[in-house]
């Protein structure tokens, strides 16, 4: 949730920190700050609100220093304010922190009895005083960090510097991501790769318990006893500009239009057309293990949960395999009946979502095989799983997830094909048929993207409405949920997604001329029933916005407006309808004059529960 940047090297750290924080803005924040070490002095500049406020303070009172740390804060303890903004200071040291210290109250009381005076409402300040207390007793910053880890309970990524150890930044993590890298100008650290890409593509993702020492000339990663550890260097091939907007008005529109490429990239090199098989080397599971899995569990949050629900329909219809889908925050606190050798699939764009991570850890503890479908290379979820399928979406900057959703569904299509072929439920010929459908999807998504002007017209007609109802059946019930989530999270309009067959069990009481109803209606075996639902809402004067197949004249007669997508196999419709609904939500939000990339109250990655 918070963003961390650090630099130690030959250059002035200020521009490195400010530019780094700009590339972290997408994570969501309410205040920001930097600290510089120069000539035996530490200067701290912090501000509430947007980063531009901090920039203006720094311009008015420029500081020098080639060692510095910076932070964008997403408030968890203590209101958004300058006083609660990071970096936090204690004596000769300053630090920044991402995460939640769960035992900060008891630590605060202990430190207050030792004479420390707290000036903020944050849990972070506890870490600063804790480090200072150890350094006062003769520890180096690195030793103090190691000692403090024993006291701290909860999740944290911390970066600290102190006057007595110039040209050094010490950083550690437990449960929150941290990545380091260096070039000839010095050493860098950040809470994700995005701000590092302009400096280096060779990075190291720290692991829980690692302590990294950054100096101008090197980065050392140390273990529990101070021993030097070797960590894998990962090459990030995301083009730095990929995180730019690429000519679009904002990241969300860019990412919606990137979806054909995401499908191509996620499929690339992952199938053998001759044998009609998927090729997933990172799955790290044998055919026998996949076959032996008594049940398949899919657990995720938000949009990723919706792709998991699509996976349920897909696996049950394509390979006749029972699937249990759960929300991360529910699974982790139930007594789930997951058993040894069950297959547990965690789906997450960031790979850092606290509830999904906790659920995966619980599944692993109960002996299940954990496969994660994630977008961020080297993310915690990726590194803790037995098997991985990376969705190759590149950085998804906009808080509203779009291309990652498509990547997740493509990963599920590949996995379903793989399991289907391994279990000999699909012949080579059937495998080739599915691969023909998968590889045709980029072109079909392009066709939907070309409908943007028509979709925008619909947005222009209904953007001022206060409530929407989204209806879908079967594999498109999750798409109704996703369409409603997209609308509510970026336009702040109340929108509900519902299984169309459920409408008469309550929601129809809401339906009137002021409630547009969006209906996903492919010509599948449930089409007639969906059309009946559509007629029922029309009978109550509700405007009906239908998404259906090209050539479906009947739909035109029973809806106020129809968006026609390419007619494909029903199991292949989710992505096509989702793209249409993303565009609808996007244009409604733009017409309402809202910041589609950084919606209020939301963060890109919910790394705390």
Angle between the N-to-C axes of helices 573-591 and 477-491, in degrees from 0 to 180, rounded to the nearest 10? 20
Catalytic residue among 108, 321, 486, 604: 604
Closest to ligand AGP by CB, 171 vs 304, is: 304
Could you give the 3-state DSSP secondary structure of residue 143? helix
Q: What would the x/- binding string for ligand AGP be over residues 530 to 559, using CB under 6 A?
A: ------------------------------
Among 2, 162, 176, 393, the one annotated catalytic? 2
Which CB, 142 or 402, lies closer to ligand AGP? 402
* Minimal distance, residue 349 CB to ligand AGP, in Å: 4
Strands 296-300 and 323-327: parallel
CA atoms of 124 and 126, how far apart (whole Å): 5
**CB-wise, 207 or 489, nearer to ligand AGP?**
489
Contact 526, 474 (CB under 8 A): yes
- Looking at the Cβ atoms of 169 and 399, the one nearer to ligand AGP is 399
* Spacing of C-alpha 571 from chain mean position: 25
Residue 455 in tokens? 């979709």
Q: Is 385 in the site for ligand AGP (CB under 6 A)?
A: no
CA–CA separation, 520 vs 473, rounded Å?
8
Residue nearest to ligand AGP (CB): 302
CA distance 441 to 445: 6
Q: At what angle do helices 403-422 and 428-449 cross, to 10 degrees?
A: 170
144 touches ligand AGP by CB under 6 A? no
Check binding of 192 to ligand AGP (CB under 6 A). Answer: no
Q: Does 350 bind ligand AGP (CB under 6 A)?
A: yes
Could you give the CA distance from residue 60 to residue 78 in angstroms, rounded to a whole number? 27
DSSP state of 48: E
Q: Which of 66, 98, 348, 385 binds ligand AGP (CB under 6 A)?
A: 348
Per-residue binder mask for ligand AGP (CB under 6 A), 398-437, x = binder:
-xxx------------------------------------
Considering the complex, what minimum distance in angstroms separates the CB of residue 408 from ligand AGP?
Answer: 8
Q: Point out which span in 147-155, 163-171, 287-295, 350-358 binds ligand AGP (CB under 6 A).
A: 350-358
The answer to whether 582 contacts ligand AGP (rule: CB under 6 A) is no
Catalytic site residue 393? no
Shortest distance in whole angstroms from residue 401 CB to ligand AGP: 4
604 is catalytic: yes
Round to the nearest angstrom and report the end-to-end CA distance of the chain. Answer: 11
For ligand AGP, which is the closer residue by CB, 63 or 303?
303
Q: Are 274 and 409 in contact (CB under 8 A)?
A: no
**307 binds ligand AGP per the rule CB under 6 A:** no
Beta carbons of 176 and 124 less than 8 angstroms apart: no
Query: Mapping DSSP to helix (H, G, I), strand (E, B) and coil, where does residue 560 land?
Result: coil
- The single-letter DSSP state of residue 130 is H
- Using CB atoms within 10 Å of the CB of residue 235, give its burial: 0 to 12 exposed, 13 to 18 middle, 19+ buried: exposed
| Contact indicator for 309, 481 with CB cutoff of 8 Å | yes
Q: How far is Cα of residue 314 from the mean position of the Cα atoms in its chain?
A: 23
Minimum CB separation from ligand AGP for residue 248, in Å? 18
Interface region with ligand AGP, contact rule CB under 6 A, candidates 198-206, 345-353, 458-466, 547-555: 345-353
Q: How many residues bind ligand AGP (CB under 6 A)?
A: 15
Report the residue number, 530 or 605, with the smaller CB distance to ligand AGP: 605
In 19-153, beta strands by DSSP E: 31-38, 41-48, 67-73, 88-90, 93-101
| Only segment of 3-11, 148-156, 298-306, 410-418 that touches ligand AGP (CB under 6 A) | 298-306
- Work out which of 356, 406, 530, 607 binds ligand AGP, going by CB under 6 A: 356
98: contact with ligand AGP by CB under 6 A: no
Q: Would you state the structure tokens that stand for residue 472, as one six-digit string? A: 């879908």
Shorter beta-carbon distance to ligand AGP: residue 95 or 581: 581
Tell me if residue 221 falls in helix, strand or coil: strand
Sign of the dihedral through C-alpha 88, 108, 29, 172: positive
Binding segment toward ligand AGP, per CB under 6 A, in 82-90, 295-303, 336-344, 424-432: 295-303
Cβ-contact 217, 223 below 8 angstroms: no
Round to whole Å and give the CA distance between 593 and 40: 48
In whole angstroms, give the CA distance from residue 296 to residue 468. 33
Exactly one of 303, 372, 391, 533 binds ligand AGP (CB under 6 A); which one? 303
**Position 379 contacts ligand AGP (CB under 6 A):** no
Binding positions for ligand AGP, 488-507, rule CB under 6 A? 489
380 sits near ligand AGP (criterion: CB under 6 A): no
Q: Is 304 in the site for ligand AGP (CB under 6 A)?
A: yes
The one among 259, 353, 533, 607 contacting ligand AGP by CB under 6 A: 353
Catalytic positions are: 2, 604
Binding-site ranges for ligand AGP (CB under 6 A): 301-304, 348-350, 353, 356, 399-401, 489, 605-606
């Amino acid at each position: 949730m918070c963003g961390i940047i650090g630099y130690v090297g030959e250059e002035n750290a200020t521009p490195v920190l400010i530019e780094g924080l700009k590339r972290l803005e997408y994570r969501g924040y309410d205040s920001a700050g930097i600290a510089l070490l120069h000539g035996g002095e530490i200067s701290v500049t912090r501000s509430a609100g947007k980063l531009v406020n901090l920039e203006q303070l720094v311009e008015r009172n420029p500081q020098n220093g080639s060692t510095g740390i910076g932070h964008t804060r997403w408030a968890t303890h203590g209101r958004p304010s300058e006083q609660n903004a990071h970096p936090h200071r204690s004596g000769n040291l300053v630090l920044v922190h991402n995460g939640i210290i769960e035992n900060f109250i008891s630590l605060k009381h202990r430190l207050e009895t030792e004479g420390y005076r707290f000036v903020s409402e944050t849990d972070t300040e506890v870490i600063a005083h804790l480090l200072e207390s150890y350094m006062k007793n003769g520890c180096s910053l690195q030793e103090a960090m190691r000692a403090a880890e024993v006291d701290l309970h909860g999740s944290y990524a911390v970066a600290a510097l102190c006057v007595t150890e110039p040209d050094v930044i010490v950083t550690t993590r437990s449960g929150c991501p941290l990545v380091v890298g260096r070039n000839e100008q010095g050493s860098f650290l950040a809470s994700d790769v995005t701000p590092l890409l302009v400096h280096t593509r060779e990075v190291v993702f720290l692991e829980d318990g690692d302590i990294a020492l950054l100096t101008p000339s090197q980065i050392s990663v140390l273990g529990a006893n101070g021993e030097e550890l070797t960590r894998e260097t990962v090459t990030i091939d995301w083009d730095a500009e990929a995180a730019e907007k690429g000519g679009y008005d904002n990241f969300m529109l860019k990412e919606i239009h990137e979806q054909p490429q995401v499908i191509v990239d996620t499929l690339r090199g992952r199938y053998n057309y001759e044998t009609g098989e998927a090729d997933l080397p990172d799955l790290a599971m044998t055919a026998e293990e996949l076959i032996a899995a008594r049940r398949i569990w899919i657990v995720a949050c938000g949009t990723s949960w919706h792709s998991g629900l699509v996976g349920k329909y897909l696996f049950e219809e394509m390979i006749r395999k029972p699937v249990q889908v759960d929300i991360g925050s529910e699974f982790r606190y139930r007594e789930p009946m997951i058993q040894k050798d069950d297959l547990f699939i965690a789906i997450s764009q960031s790979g850092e979502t606290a509830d999904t991570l906790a659920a995966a850890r619980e599944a692993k503890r109960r002996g299940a095989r954990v496969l994660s479908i994630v977008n961020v290379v080297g993310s915690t979820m990726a590194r803790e799983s037995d098997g991985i399928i990376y969705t190759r979406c590149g950085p998804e900057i906009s808080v509203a997830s779009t291309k990652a959703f498509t990547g997740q569904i493509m990963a599920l299509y590949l996995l379903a094909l793989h399991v289907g072929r391994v279990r000999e439920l699909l012949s080579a010929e059937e495998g080739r048929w599915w691969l023909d459908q998968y590889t045709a999807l980029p072109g079909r998504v392009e066709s939907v993207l070309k409908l943007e002007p028509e979709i925008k017209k619909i947005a222009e007609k209904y953007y001022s409405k206060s409530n929407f109802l989204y209806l879908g059946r079967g594999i498109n019930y999750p798409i109704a949920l996703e369409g409603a989530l997209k609308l509510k999270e970026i336009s702040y309009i109340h929108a509900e997604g519902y299984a169309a067959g459920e409408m008469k069990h309550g929601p129809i009481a809401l339906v009137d001329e002021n409630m547009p109803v969006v209906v996903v209606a492919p010509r599948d075996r449930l089409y007639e029933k969906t059309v009946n639902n559509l007629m029922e809402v029309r009978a109550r004067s509700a405007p009906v916005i239908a998404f259906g197949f090209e050539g479906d004249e009947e739909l035109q007669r029973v809806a106020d407006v129809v968006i026609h997508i390419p007619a494909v196999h029903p199991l292949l419709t989710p992505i096509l309808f989702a793209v249409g609904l993303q565009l609808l939500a996007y244009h409604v939000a733009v017409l309402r004059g809202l910041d589609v990339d950084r919606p209020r109250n939301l963060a890109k990655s919910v790394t705390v529960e």
